[in-house]
Amino acid sequence: MSARFDSIVLGATIEGLAAACTLAKNNRSVLVIDELEFPGGAAAGREFYPGFRSSGIFPDALHVRRKLLAPLNLESHGLEWRSEEPPLIVPTPEGGFPVFGDPERMLATLSERHPADAQAYEALQARLGRYAPILQAILDEEPPDPTDASIGQVLQLGKRALSVRLLGERDMHELFRLAPLPAADWMNERFECEALKTGLVAPVLFGTQLGPRAAGTAALQLLRGAARGAGPVGGPAALVDALVQCLKGCGGELRLGDGPRSIELNAHAVEAVTLAGGDRIETPLVLSALDPKRTLLELLAPTAISSNIEKTAVNWRMRGSSAVLLLALSRPLPFERAISARSLRDLEQAADHLKYGRLRDPIWIQVDVVSPSSRTDGGERDERAVVATLVAHGVPHGLRAGWDDAAAETLESSMLEALEGIAPGAGATVLGRELLTPPEIERRFRLPGAHPFAGELSLDQLWLQRPGLALSRYRTPFPGLYLGSAANHPGGPFLGGAGVLAARAALHA
């Protein structure tokens, strides 16, 4: 079978769908190809127990790049946004301490329970408020080309430099001081309340191999803080559903269950994509939302790429550090979001286990609850039923002793024990469960290394280095081939950003 499209997008992930919708909105005929039988990958909604449906195995959707997605008008395709995010509950001897995303509510809580930290928190939020516009602008535009001396690139760099300079000397120096700082050092010099420090740092470590004492974790905290907002109702799965409806409404097509086998080049320019099933589809433009290793090392002919590009792809790190346990519960938990870690030390010890490939306590979990559960079997919805997603951190993909049934059972027991520690009696409400170890996540959702962001978040894998200096602006040395996965800027948890920016780069070529 032979066909032709103006553009082909590889990978029906959130980034791939966002890119495809952007291309289709600009009157391009678009085909999205994915080897999975369903769109969305790990973000897809899926029934894991009769009548209970997850909202994606990694439920964090607090950093969607709404500004970049705004032209797609996803709200007209059923997407709704939460009015506010639920607090993150951190366990304490007195019960649970709520860490709010809303600064006013957080300040009120501190004023009542930890007055010594209230003033420091207010000063911190004021400074972060001054940083936020600069960081948001960086997240919502493609990185500059440091090798391009054109007037446009010089002006872009100058604009960013001026915005930093206009912060004033004190704020500017503090920003430069914070970037390489460990998050633990930053929090310890600011606050006394251990639960507050833990709740502010813990979510930042998702998608990393790092503990709070690692250099650069304060920079991740700054970026996430600037981009944070209430996520979509229904989590990542709702975003996937809206993007699919948008794509179909724009005339785009989805082809699932038949992934790419190769990208064909003619005189180094894109000519066609050959599928695993044997079909060849002609196109002058391929935008890959697959990770750079798969795109460059597996889909292109080995003789096509230079040693420099090959080295960039080979050295790109995608080591997952999380496992997921989906629970069907008979009644609600006393919170919507919570973690089991009680201190920065707990977070650091979990990261230590990753270094040595060990599966030992303390792992720590983050629990996200969807209530009530939506039924998928046509029956009536049980208003008491809930789905809880437990994401365990500090779980090595490359377990030194190897993954087997015994290791999986040990992990599941540890996760349920951690849940029981923050929600006593929760175990008695479990109706059904599904454990996804890192190897199972990799196999089922085609996530190399079981990494949720197609590449680790660390200082050397951000901005101009995501996924490498020669590839950071979505373009490749091959005319018509673009990269737009979560491994590209802004990537990571900043959902939709890389896909939209890569599509814009392709449209403006």
How confident is the model over 152-162, as a mean pLDDT? 66
Q: Where does the pLDDT of residue 338 fall: very low under 50, low under 70, confident under 90, or very high at 90 and above? A: very high
Give me the pLDDT at residue 61, please: 92
The full set of domains in the chain, from first to last, is 2-41+64-79+233-317+455-507 (3.50.50.60), 99-219 (no CATH), 322-450 (no CATH)
Whether residue 154 has pLDDT greater than 80: no
**pLDDT score, position 358:** 86
Q: Average per-residue pLDDT in the chain?
A: 92
In the predicted model, is pLDDT for residue 504 greater than 80? Answer: yes
pLDDT, position 152: 65
Q: What pLDDT, on a 0 to 100 scale, did the predictor assign at position 204?
A: 94
For residue 87, whether the previous peptide bond is cis, meaning omega lies within 30 degrees of 0, is: no
Mean pLDDT of 152-181: 80
Residue 375 reports pLDDT greater than 50: no
What pLDDT is recorded for position 294? 97
Alpha-carbon distance values, 460 to 220, 234, 455, 465, 493 (Å):
12, 33, 11, 6, 17
Residue (of 90, 95, 87) closest to 346 by Cα position: 90
- pLDDT tens for 377-436 read 444 445 556 999 999 999 999 899 899 999 999 999 999 999 999 999 999 999 999 999
Distance CA(213)–CA(210), nearest Å, equals 8
Dihedral sign, CA of 295, 296, 302, 303?
positive
Measured CA distances, 359 to 356, 366, 400, 412, 447 (Å):
9, 17, 9, 11, 21
**Per-residue pLDDT for 467 more than 90?**
yes
pLDDT computed for residue 379 by the predictor: 43
Q: Rounded to an integer, what distance in angstroms lies between the CA atom of residue 120 and that of residue 124?
A: 6
251-302 pLDDT, tens digit per residue, is: 999 999 999 999 999 988 999 999 999 999 999 999 999 999 999 999 999 9
One-letter amino acid of 163? S
Cα gap 57→129, rounded to integer Å: 31
pLDDT: which is higher, 110 or 384: 110
Partners of 91 in the beta sheet? 96
Q: Evaluate if pTM is beyond 0.75.
A: yes
Confidence at residue 267, expressed as pLDDT on a 0 to 100 scale: 87
Share of the chain above pLDDT 90, in %: 82
Q: How confident is the model at residue 372 (pLDDT cuts 50, 70, 90)?
A: low
In the numeric block, which tokens belong to residue 125? 């939020």
For 182-196, what is the mean pLDDT? 97
- pLDDT for 307 beyond 90: yes
Question: Could you tell me if 394 and 418 are in contact, meaning their C-beta atoms sit under 8 angstroms apart?
Answer: no
pLDDT at residue 330 greater than cutoff 80: yes
Does residue 437 have a pLDDT over 90? yes
137 exposed, middle or buried (CB, 10 Å; 0-12, 13-18, 19+)? middle
Give helix 14-25 / helix 497-507 axis angle, nearest 10°. 40
Is 232 in contact with 56 (CB distance < 8 Å)?
no
63-72, 163-172, 364-373: range with highest mean pLDDT: 63-72
Asked whether 481 and 458 are in contact (CB, 8 A), the reply is: no
Q: What is the pLDDT of residues 210-258, one digit of tens each?
A: 999 999 999 999 999 998 888 999 999 999 999 999 999 999 999 999 9
pLDDT digits (tens, 9 = 90+) for 92-104: 998 899 999 999 9
Determine contact, residues 327/430, Cβ cutoff 8 Å.
Answer: yes
Cβ distance 311 to 292 under 8 Å?
no
